[in-house]
Copies of this chain bind each other. A is one copy, B any other.
Amino acid sequence: MKLYGFWRSLATFRVRVALALKGLKLDEPEIPVDILQGRQFDDAYRKLNAQSVVPALIVEGAGSPLFQSMAILEYLEEIRPQPALLPRDALGRARVRGLSQICVSDGHPLIVPRIRRYLDKDLGLDESARDRWVAHWSLIALEAIEGHLAREPETGRFCHGDAPTLADICVASQVIAAKDYGHCDVSGVPAVMRVYGECMRLDAFALSHPQRQSGAPPGLRG
């Protein structure tokens, strides 16, 4: 398998974590596509991913690269079922997928480069209005997650029970969006932050953090 990604991309982060949790190795180091420089619109990359977004996962024997992080996570779960990142019961899986989608559908897509570019170029918003946008939508998604984690008995050490699931991967990416990119005050989402802390104790999460990637600017690298 080969992974096209970008150090800062939260969708790439999610795939990185799943690969690591499942002990799946790439054939070569992650191939960078600089989405801040617009390299995702190059013809060569567009042939790999019609939507011009990262990640794209090249799988031996597949006609086309895999696309969309949630679809890739589900694929990895199917080809390498252990350790399981989805619960065994259908209702549990629905909860884990629902928590994941709050982040992947309703949080993250609002702050990606193409949106920030539209806010800048098409709407003429200044940097502070763009920052408020990013902070607002990043935190709103976490508040929705908090509403579930804080009151539902399925919450354990992690989002769903005591082992990490796809929900933890997606929630962790959303915390990075809010905390590191949106500079949000996250004191109102304590259950989320507790789970995030548990995630970051695991190498699979910690070493996948954007700031730990070789492409990250040296000043940011933690």
- Shortest Cβ gap from A75 to chain B (Å): 4
- Shortest Cβ gap from A149 to chain B (Å): 9
Interface segment, A2-10, A23-31, A94-102, A176-184?
A: A94-102
Interface segment, A59-67, A194-202, A203-211, A212-220?
A: A59-67
Q: Which of B62, B94, B105, B154 contacts A72 (CB 8 A)?
A: B94
Size bracket of the A interface:
35 or more
- Shortest Cβ gap from A126 to chain B (Å): 11
- Give the number of times this chain occurs in the complex, counting copies: 2
Residues of chain B within 8 A of A62, CB atoms compared: 91
Interface contact B105-A152, CB-CB below 8 Å? no
Residues of chain B within 8 A of A106, CB atoms compared: 51, 53, 109
A74 within 8 A of B: yes
